[in-house]
Chains A and B, each alone.
Chain A
Amino acid sequence: MSELTILHVDMDAFFASVEERDNPALKGKAVVVGNGIRSVVSAANYEARKFGIHAAMPIGRAKRLAPHAIFVPPNMARYSEVSSHIMEIFRSVTPLVEPLSLDEAFLDVTGARRLLGSGREIAIHIRKKIEASEGITCSVGIATTKFIAKLASGRCKPNGILEIAPDRVIEFLHPLPVSAIWGVGPKTNEELQKLGLRTIFDIANTPRQTLIRILGEASGASLYELAWGRDYREVIPNEVDKSISAAQTFETDIEDQEIILREFLRLTEKATHRLRERDLSARTISIKVRFADFKTISRSKTLPLPISAAHEVFDVVKALFLSLKLDRARLRLVGISLDGFEDGVDGSEQLILGEREKGWRQATAAIDRASARFGQGSVRPARLIEE
């Protein structure tokens, strides 16, 4: 059997690159994407990273590290638009595209080699196309497995290509720290360090049975296989998101129930719009609230029938929130998430007794059409109109 050719394409500092491209004044400066003083860094460009700023760092800290950096609020709608263009470029090369997030994906290009050339040639082609049409750069790892391809793209950042031929896998892999292995989190890492297993070489030279004893059947065995560069996972195209979520950190802690519910309504509008865009409806609705002291709780509810209209989802969200019976607790963040998707594609829907034939469903569809034309939020509940 001929070997597979797998690419892992990862955009370089994606959000920050999009901002730089949209605003040339940012070029060459340290750019940090993050919203408000109280949230965390979503992305930082390489200039900003020189000061030690990285994703998930509190904004306040980033500001102290690099007071001169330019902080821009994230524009998720813009990023997902650019992302969908990039995914289109991938799909023009091969149908086997597995997006991992907005800015990275695996591509199985085995079948495209005859038409488009070697993995390296395809990688060059993709990079050129993205730079020409989107004006941003990416890094591409090329290997015969997903595992090695992802490691390779991480080692050639930014703006690089790294191909690991099958006979070079071991020499590439073995010097790396165990934490480089997919699935080795801080806890497993600690376990392994305790046993003196520091590099992937150490893992590869530990008996399989020993690893199984330490980590359990599944993770022990898979760790051993990965340490020898063996990864049997296929690229699964188009794996759709299993949930849609939206969250908001308040500028200051909020205890006013009216404001909190209004924020929940806004998040519901946003998430259900994305749900309907994909022609889905959801059966499980969850809410998350984070208190001023960072304690976070969530509640969820699974319904007998899937729903997609904002007002129906909001009824559930509101009931979940009120059931917490918070007594003027100060909240830092609220969020909602929708999952348990069912296809809305066949357009079937349980009708409700006594409801007008043309009801919310038609109103919602009309709002979606208006949003498509005039932008999201052009039609919104009266409660969300700011004075």
Chain B
Amino acid sequence: MKFTVERDLLIDGVNWVARSLSTRPIQTALLGIMIDVTNSITLTGSDLETSTKATITADIATKGKVLVPGRLLAEIARALPAKPVTFFLDGTRVLVTAGSAKFTLPTLPLDEYPNLPQLPETSGEIPGDVFAAAINQVAIAAGKDDSLPTLTGVHIEMNKSTITLAATDRYRLAVKEINWNPKDQNTEATTLLRARTLIDVAKSLTGTGQITFALSPSASNEKLVGFISEEKTMTSRTLDGTFPPFRHLLPTESTAEATIEVGPFLDSVRRVALVTDKTVPLRLIFSKNTLQLEAGTGEDAQATEELNINYTGEDINIAFNPTFLTDGLQAINSPFVHISFTGDKKPAVLTGKSEPNGVINTTYKYLLMPMRYTS
């Protein structure tokens, strides 16, 4: 095996596949990145949960296949000088040279490398940037507690030309609808994927045009989802369990509504929250076009601030976890936030607006459950 490759292409490919390497895999072979040289080069990494592949073009002298320590390869690739990189298999070792830098890598036994799941049939495509933005808006509400695994996932629901993404940690719920281009116009499918995996996809697969989705048919034993961009693919096992029903949580009416400019609101929230612990409530008092923010009680440090806002409906005193509120204000990704209330112990719904008097963008909703507090 011998080939020469551009350093930047190598770094990009190796970084992508190194993402699925586990530091403590169940098989030693999974510590490796597989380099398969045919007419192009395919790099593969896997922890059996997710598997990633990158295909890069190279100047190929002899074909071959080899397994090298993955983390080491990734570190070496990042440190190489900006010169073409040559790989050469010499017996059981791989020589890597770039300019004057020379490395010798041991190889791992190829025959111990497990058979990785095949990419399922493709089911449709979506623009990468749209998908990435949607994931970033939704994954923020996913749980981080591995003892409740279904809540660490993002629920993905495909219904004809609409995809609905949803995630919740039981304190808030984020729901986003986007359009896609399914291969079969009658596609109906749901799946649940780890939020962390999707964030990786959003970070690395989305610079380039379209992303293709590949969903294993619901009848198959192995529940897999694949993402394919031009040269990179990821196959991930879906999470077990059923995402809790969430549509009935979305309120259908409201008793009060506010429209607030996000920038100044975020600044005020951050200032007032300075006096609290992250889990201590931030109190919001909405009345006649003013919003008063308060935090801290009794002998402790306190802070208050007042904002002029658009407000209609009954006055309301409501308290939120300041971090969750900040998350939501950032996630709506709009200059104005529209908040609708149905009570001080009922979820508030945050949506985005581009103008104070404009229409509400209902494709993204962030439901936030208040905190109970005694004043």
Q: Give the interface of A toward B (CB within 8 A).
A: 301, 303-306, 315-316, 319-320, 323, 342, 346-354, 357
Contact = CB atoms under 8 A, between A and B. Distances in A.
A350 B249 contact: no
Contact of A353 (B171, B371, B373, B374): B171
Contacts of A347: 372-374
Given A353-B172, A353-B173, A354-B249, A316 B147 contact: yes
Interface stretch (B105-113, B125-133, B276-284): B276-284
B147 A319 contact: yes
B243 to A, nearest CB: 13
B367 interface: yes
A353 B367 contact: yes
B41 interface: no
Interface string B132-150: 0000000000001101000
Q: Taking chain B's interface residues, is the majority helix, strand, or loop, or is none over half, making it mixed? A: loop
A149 B238 CA distance: 64
28 contacts: A304-B144, A304-B279, A305-B279, A319-B147, A320-B147, A323-B147, A342-B277, A346-B280, A346-B297, A346-B373, A347-B373, A348-B280, A348-B281, A348-B371, A348-B374, A350-B279, A350-B371, A351-B370, A351-B372, A353-B168, A353-B172, A353-B173, A353-B249, A353-B347, A353-B367, A354-B248, A354-B249, A357-B345
| Count class of interface residues, chain B | 20 to 34
- Give 5 closest A-B pairs by Cβ, nearest first: A319-B147, A347-B374, A348-B373, A351-B369, A349-B372
Interface in B127-183: 144-145, 147, 168-173
B135 to A, nearest CB: 21
Given A305-B279, A346-B374, A351-B372, 7 more contacts: A304-B279, A348-B319, A350-B371, A351-B345, A351-B370, A352-B369, A353-B172
Interface in B243-268: 244, 248-249
Nearest to B281: A348
A304 B173 CA distance: 16
Interface in B328-375: 345, 347, 367, 369-374
Contacts of A342: 277, 279
B44 interface: no
Contact of B372 (A303, A306, A323, A348): A348
Q: Which of A305, A319, A320 has the most CB of B within 10 A?
A: A305
Interface in B278-313: 279-281, 297
Contacts of A323: 147
Contacts of B347: 353
B42 interface: no
A353 B250 CA distance: 10
Q: Which of B168, B277, B279, B321 has the most CB of A within 10 A?
A: B279
B214 to A, nearest CB: 32
Contacts of A304: 144-145, 169, 279
Contacts of B367: 353
Contacts of B170: 352-353
Contacts of B169: 304
Q: Which of B144, B147, B168, B321 has the most CB of A within 10 A?
A: B147
A303 B373 contact: no
Given A305-B279, A319-B147, A350 B345 contact: no
Nearest to B368: A353
Contacts of B147: 301, 315-316, 319-320, 323
B277 A350 contact: no
A354 to B, nearest CB: 5
Contact of A303 (B145, B173, B248, B370): B145
Contact of A350 (B144, B297, B321): B321
B310 to A, nearest CB: 26
A330 B133 CA distance: 51
B171 A306 contact: no
A357 B345 CA distance: 8
A352 B280 CA distance: 16
Nearest to B245: A354
Contacts of B248: 354
A316 B173 CA distance: 22
Nearest to A353: B369
A323 B373 CA distance: 35
A352 B347 CA distance: 9
A305 B169 CA distance: 11
Q: Which of A315, A349, A354, A357 has the most CB of B within 10 A?
A: A354
A306 B321 CA distance: 13
A256 to B, nearest CB: 23
A249 B145 CA distance: 30
Nearest to B171: A350
